[in-house]
Structure 1
Amino acid sequence: MKWLNALNDYKHYLKIERGLSDNSITNYEYDVQKLIIYLEENNINQSPDVIDYDTIQPFIYELSKSLNARSQSRLISGLRSFFSYLVFEDYRTTNPLDHIESPKIGRKLPDTLSIEDIDSLIAAIDITKEYNGIRIGERDRTILETLYSCGLRVSELTNLKLSDLYFDEGFIKVTGKGNKQRFVPIGKNTQKYINIYKNEVRTTINVQKEFKDTLFLNNRGKQLTRAMIFTIIKQLAKKTGLQKTISPHTFRHSFATHLLENGADLRAIQLMLGHESITTTEIYMHVDRTHLKDVLTQFHPRK
């Protein structure tokens, strides 16, 4: 069995069977390629169906010198997944990563913005700003309002379709990781901004044929890239003098944190965020411990 063939089969499995995004598949591929490069550089001739613990363990140790604990854990997890696939397909009977432990890492708490920070960022948008006659300021305000009010991932925002808007019912349909779809409630205020953008701005764009159903467009009539959303947010942070490193995901974290602080049910937040496991959502329980103290003071009978 050749490494390249095994890797191509694995990538096909990740895309078709597991429905992973191209970004996720690239990350998994990169983990395996690191091992392949190590074998080539050290003249080790072991195919993926026979390579064993004694060969992989020195590779992990060597990389650990230049990787932090989180990156080591990610690499080990990626390789374990690859060899689990080979076991699943009966190419081998054991996983050589079974006895390699990942380093202990703490859960990274997400960065969040205060409500005042978000108001300041949105207020800093010049909604009269135009580019080639297109009111991109109005578009940018709508993007930030939608990110925050619906808790979307950046890819979910850029992939949002006109046909995903169910305003009469008060929901939008969101396509998340693994092409899993969920319905997320959307407030009247955000609906208002989307309708302004859709009816007054988007109609002035010469939309490319393949993006006729895409909601947010650039001035050339194509789908906005993830990088463009990052740029818009970073420019606003600089403009307002915000002393935090923020990204589109910061709005998603803030959405969840503010809901929790205002008494929302953790299960409801999980459904809106599209988390497969509530364990992922529980990280927001640790973001603001003062809120937990306030809950105890307010509701415990012996406060």
Structure 2
Amino acid sequence: MKKVQVNTKNHEYHVYLDKGIRFRVGELLSECLKDKPSSVFIVSDSTVAPLYLKDVMNSLPTDLSVSSVIIPSGEQSKSFSEYERLHTEALKAGLDRKSVLIALGGGVVGDIAGFVAATYMRGIRFIQMPTTLLAHDSSVGGKVAINHALGKNMIGAFHQPEAVFYDTEMLFSLPEREWRAGFAEVFKHGLILDHSFFEWLKENVTDFTSINEDLITDVLARSIAIKAKVVSEDEREQGIRAYLNLGHTLGHAIEAVSGYGKITHGEAVVIGFVFAMKLSEKHFHTNLDIPSLITWVETFGYETVIPS
């Protein structure tokens, strides 16, 4: 098992990476929590729950009160109505300040469940259990939110998890489009802050079928370590954490205008990368070798021009 440490001003936690982690959640909770939880509340979605919810629930101690709620899969669930419903279900389940919420799913689940954890009784502990490649980025750093009709992630909070449990085995049930959605955030970390990692990716990841469990564990550990370093220096995005938003200004606009879910976050952000780099070349009169980046990303099926 690989572990990546995340340090912030008032909190530190680990990202655990290994295959089969979903069968060891109870054991890992004992390791990462100072106090035994009074109850566990699992939030998942309609795609992930049929695959993995039972495994997670069966891994928890039998003397622990466990409840779960399932939201519809997709970006549309990051809404005020689902946010309210989750609070209602948490109240019905009798969650208290010693309860722990587990977000089992992709970025949508992590965002809305994390925001519920941040606001239920003014904040309870939660665990991120990402099930997609994209969520390796959103599950680390404590940014949790829901969407508003006028903007994505505009209603939210900073609320760090107690730990991140990343079962790499679950990634291999994802369709190729979901790999594209997440891999953009992986190479973004290299592109902005670690040139050697970016070059290593270009040499070692030629297509998604070439990635095995050992390679994806290494890729994720290195990518998450970059994110963790940034978060430790700038938890609330007052400075360099803004670097992590490379490509996201245009990317979010493309997602909003096309309708959330029509184009994946990663696909939109890659178009944003290219746009931002072209703008930078023009403004700073420099050469960022954009053609070589375009050639590489297009081998994975990314579009690089703004859609009509």
Query: Under a length normalisation based on structure 2, what TM-score does the superposition of the two structures give?
Result: 0.25
Decide which structure has greater helix share.
Answer: 1
TM-score between the two structures when normalised by the length of structure 1: 0.25
Flag the structure with higher strand content: 2
